[in-house]
Structures are given as C-alpha cells and as structure tokens.
Amino acid sequence: MKITYFGHSAFRIETGGAVILVDPFFTGNPAAKTTWQEASGGLTHLLLTHGHGDHTGDSLEILKATGATLVSNFEICSWLNAKGVENYSPGNHGGRISFADFDVIFTNAWHSSSDMVAGQPVYLGNPSGFVIEPQKEHGNTLYIAGDTGLSYDMKLINELYRPEIGIVPIGDRFTMGGDQAAYACRNFFDFKAVIPCHYASFKGYVADDASKFLTAMGPDAGKVRVMASGETVSF
C-alpha cells in the first residue's frame, strides 16, 4: 500500500489495482503543492468523508474528468449526481462495500456535514470515517477517521477491524486536537503507524504543526509519520 499526503486531509491511496483519492481538496488548500490533475492519474475511486468544502474540494471536476467511482453517503452521492457525476456507490454507517481490490466500511465520525448555497447550509448526510481493507497481499488495514471528535466508538472500530495504519485529525477547534488524538491512538488502537492530518493549513484555525500530538503520544511517538505535502510512504 502506498499513501500520498497532499496537505489538510487530502490523500491518495494505492492498493492492488485501485487508486483512491480521499477528500481531494486542492484548489484553495494552502498546504497543497500538487494540482488535482497531477494527483488523480489512474484514479479508480474517490472517497468523501463528509460535505464540507475543505473535504469535497475538487471532487466534481475530478469525477467528471476521470470517471472514477464516488464512494460516500447517500446524500453526497445524490448531490453530486445532480451535478453530473455518473458513477457512484453510496453507503452509510456500519455498511461495507466490496470492490475488486479492497473493501470499505463506513464508521462513525463525530462532526457535521453540509455545503453552503446562497449563504444557507444544505444538509449532506452524516459525516463518516472509513476502514479500508485491501486484499491480503496488497497491504495493511487502514482507518481514516475523517473529521471527528474523540469517541468511544473508536474502541469498537479497533475490536472489529484491527486497523494497522491510522489517519487521524489533530488540528483542534473543528476536530480532535493533538491531546485527544493521542489518547485515541494510545488507548483505543494498536496502530503500527499513524499519520496526522487536518493541521498546518489554515493558520489560526488549525494547529500549525504536529508537535502537541507528538508530545502527547509519549513513548509511542515513534509510530507517528509526519508527512510533508506531496510525500509518499509505502507500507
């Protein structure tokens, strides 16, 4: 499995023959050093955790240009279908969707989900996280927390799916901060590696760096992979 980080919460995941973008926010992302065109080469699937603009990002343009399959909740799939997206596979909390190279499971995320139209919020379903289970020969089970606060549901996610890699928000204000994210990683999960996200993008609104998270991880700080925008790691 190869994971590339593009800043904020945007990731590219390659496993087997699948190329997956998660929350592809490029245009307007202060942390992005890559365009969506560069990031979406060979794309097969696009996963959206929720409907806020810093996560839906360039999804519409990417989906129209690539024909990739959108995977998200029913409301987001319907919303983007009305805008011209043809390939989509909706789900909701607790559900599993199987594709050729991986399964995706929808998990709870403690957050909100909407888009703004004419200054008014439009409901876009329940926010979620994802567990990605590749075919055994293609990599480790990955948990993408999405935008979320600390939740005891995370303990159940670990008991059911045993993810070995975690992608967790640490930015505070809108999600877990470094202290809560570290508590979750150390008490609810047994990650081999954990990648922080949703920080170092919007100054004054999210954490500037991962230092608080690293300090709170204590003896487990060695598991943390602090990725630069555009960096790729393999597991």
Q: Comparing C-alpha atoms, which of 120, 167, 117 is closest to residue 141?
A: 167
Q: Tens digit of pLDDT for each residue in 70-79?
A: 999 999 999 9
pLDDT at 89 over 80: yes
pLDDT at 19 over 90: yes
What CATH code is assigned to 2-227? 3.60.15.10
Q: Comparing C-alpha atoms, which of 20, 88, 74, 26 is closest to residue 53?
A: 26
Domain ranges of the chain: 2-227
**What is the value of pTM for the model shown?**
0.97
Q: Comparing C-alpha atoms, which of 176, 185, 180, 172 is closest to residue 221?
A: 185
Quote the pLDDT of residue 117.
86
DSSP 134: E
Quote the pLDDT of residue 137.
76
